[in-house]
Amino acid sequence: MDRNSLIGFLLLALLFFGYFYYTKQGQLAYEKEQQRISDSLKLINPNPESTANMVNAPALNTDSLARLQQKSAHEGIIQDSVAAETFHTVETKLFRVTFTNKGGQPAKVELKNFKTFDDKPLFVENGNFNRISYAINSVANKTVETADVFFTLQREEKDTAGNTIISYVLQAADGRQIEHRYKLQHDNYMIDFDIRLINGNGLFTDQVLRLNWDAQATQKERDLDWEVQQSHVSFVENGEFDFENMARGRKDDKKFVRPVDWIALNQQFFVNAIVAKDKFESGSISWDSPKDTADHLVATAKANMHLKVPSGNDVTIPMQLYYGPSDYKILKSYNNQMFNMVPLGTGIFAFVKYINRGFVLPVFNFLAKYISSYGLIIALLTIIIRLLISPLTYQSYLSGAKMKLLRPEMDALKEKFKDDKQAFAMEQMKLYRSAGVNPVGGCVPALLQVPIFFALYSFFNSNIALRGHSFLWANDLSTYDSILNLPFNIPLYGAHVSLFTLLATVTSLLISLYGMSNMQDTGNPMMKYLPFIFPVVLLGVFNRLPSSLTWYYTVSNVITLLIQFVIQTYIIDHEKVLAKLQENKLKPKKKNKWQERIEAMQQQNDKLKQMRQKTDSNRKK
């Protein structure tokens, strides 16, 4: 590790810190009275096969019916005859969706294959109020929000493919009707959500559906603050994916003036999204990450989106709802850019996502087919990567060996040009050129490895496959490991001790100590301490990062130490290298224009120096 290698290493550290900175069973609902069901069936012309699945409500008593008719006349709509919130649960292979008749929408979704960090059921939630709602015009010339009225659970049925279809209906007093129809596939986290209008002219002002969508994200991971940092509001506007960061205690908003395909509130590993197949025309979204952590709330988002309603009496507005994991493979299958929510490379290092998508993720998934231990998979992945970059590593160590062999001559030059740094620099360049040594030969290979480092940093922070998997003392590879929880918080470190971070720090320190023997003595005492700075800073930064990342870094450091020892001891023949350097000195050198300019400048400086000396001598006389 010569000076240039060290500079490359420090640049890597600075880039990392810049990147690090810049980087929620209910019961069945009741139907309205039998006569009203029959009228609804005539209006919507249902499949005869589905009538067997109709849910019948008991007859209302006179007082209840009178109150309901009075309320309906006032609002211009006919609500669910029970006029109270009831729930209906649909279960698939992947989740349990609890629907409510209030607004005819999902109330909560439990993901069956996942748990929270403390082993509780994991829910992807909508907001507490007006989860999915839009304004409709009643016959009484009043505006009513759909989330404030009670729909009727009309039917639940299975189609020929085994998908579950559930339908909620809201009927106006003048015969107009709104149906919320949901299709849940057995092995899909995406729910088809159609808003069907029967005789729907006049239901929406200016034929624009103004949809309110509220979402909230509650804590699912151990480190709440880290989960906030990894959460975003994401969207596709005018065909381009973009996202906005979350920050604890900060509110923000964004307006959309161009068509929007979908919007989402995505946490570190889970997503709540709404998709408009015909695109939202415009709208806005605001979000907030509360400063108070007592409710374990990561963030809330409120969107108001505008969608043009097709003209006609009977129309369908196709939409979709996604409640599920932030899994790259699953999201990519929808062909709508939702896979971009998985942060495999963002910010100034956005280009590393192609390394992750094209190489790291496929290799990781291939290894996962045959190996059950994710810790071993990470170790094998590390070895594969180090083998691929070994030519760069070899060139770096070879350059260091050449610099070390030239050290006696460099020391002689320093002694000769003690007070003339410019002359020393010129002679130093001559020595490098004559010996055929590239002074940045150790720096360039180190910089070329920077993209790989940041690719893996992004990969281990966003790969949901690691979530919940243990290795050695780490209970969950997607979050930090802790061998000791402290009763207090240490600034810039935290309130726990990560053993993988300690191992990564110690091995980094050993690499620095090993490289000190190859480091050129510049006479600057600070250079002696620089190799120790990064490992110490790493101790504070890496302590809260996923244990998969610190485990990878530990394995990588151990491999580096082994490679250094093997290359320096058995591969690089220092006598042959020295002989080659001496041979290079004897070869005639063809000067390029840059070298000629440097020498011309040196000659000019020498002449100026001689003239000053002569002038000073004359003055003394």
Query: Could you count the other beta carbons within 10 Å of the beta carbon of residue 618?
Result: 8
> Residue 34 above 60 pLDDT?
no
Distance, CA of 317 to CA of 579 (rounded, Å): 79
Closest CA to 222 of 126, 120, 300: 120
3-state secondary structure of 467: coil
Average pLDDT of the residues in 272-300: 91
On whether the CB atoms of residues 529 and 509 are closer than 8 A, the answer is: no
Q: Check pLDDT > 70 for residue 196.
A: yes
Give the model's pLDDT for residue 603: 65
pLDDT over threshold 70, residue 8: no
Strands 87-91 and 95-100, sheet pairing: antiparallel
Measured distance CA(203)–CA(200) in Å, rounded:
6
Percentage above 90 pLDDT, the chain:
39
Per-residue pLDDT reduced to its tens digit, 428-473 = 676 666 666 666 655 666 676 788 888 998 999 999 999 999 999 9
- Residues 371-385, buried b or exposed e (16+ Cβ, 10 A)? eeebbebbbbbbeeb
Beta bridge partners of 126: 215
Q: How high is the pLDDT of residue 530? A: 66
What's the confidence (pLDDT) of residue 22?
54
Pair of tokens at residue 485 = 């929880």
At 134, give phi and psi (nearest 5°): -155, 155
- Please tell me whether residue 58 adopts helix, strand or coil conformation: coil
Residue 76 has pLDDT above 60, yes or no: no
According to the model, what pLDDT value does residue 63 have? Answer: 39
Q: Strand, coil or helix: what is 407?
A: helix
Decide which of 575 and 564 is more confident.
Answer: 564
What are 199-248's pLDDT values in tens digits?
A: 877 788 888 999 999 999 999 999 898 899 899 999 999 999 999 988 88
DSSP 8-state symbol, 358: I
| CA dist., res. 583 & res. 589, Å (int) | 12
Per-residue pLDDT at 323: 94
% residues pLDDT > 70 (the chain)? 66
pLDDT of res. 71: 47
State the pLDDT at residue 46.
Answer: 43
Question: Which of 92-96, 211-215, 363-367, 391-395 bottoms out in mean pLDDT, i.e. has the lowest?
Answer: 391-395
3-state secondary structure 143-181: EEEHHHCECEEEEEEECCCCCEEEEEEEEECCCCEEEEE
Question: What is the band of 581 on the pLDDT scale with cuts at 50, 70, 90?
Answer: low
Annotate 578-598 with b (16+ C-beta within 10 A) or e (fewer). Answer: beebeeeeeeeeeeeeeeeeb
Q: What does pLDDT average to over the chain?
A: 78
pTM, 2 dp: 0.76
Residue 26 has pLDDT above 60, yes or no: no
Q: What is the mean pLDDT of residues 481-492?
A: 88
Among left, alpha and beta (phi > 0; psi -120 to 50; other), residue 283 is: left
pLDDT, residue 37, reads: 43
Instruction: Please report the pLDDT score of residue 266 as a whole number.
Output: 92
What Cα–Cα distance (Å) separates residue 164 from each residue in 154, 159, 169, 271? 14, 7, 17, 22
- Higher pLDDT among residues 115 and 131, named by residue: 115
Q: What is the DSSP letter of 591?
A: P
**Number of neighbours of residue 63 by Cβ within 10 angstroms:** 8
Note the pLDDT of residue 575: 61
Q: Does the pLDDT at position 599 exceed 90?
A: no
What's residue 175's pLDDT? 77
Tokens, residue 356: 């992750």
Rg (CA), the chain: 34
Instruction: Give the mean pLDDT of 7-26.
Output: 55
Quickly tell me which residue has 């726990």 as its tokens: 496
The residue that leads in pLDDT, 514 or 7, is: 514
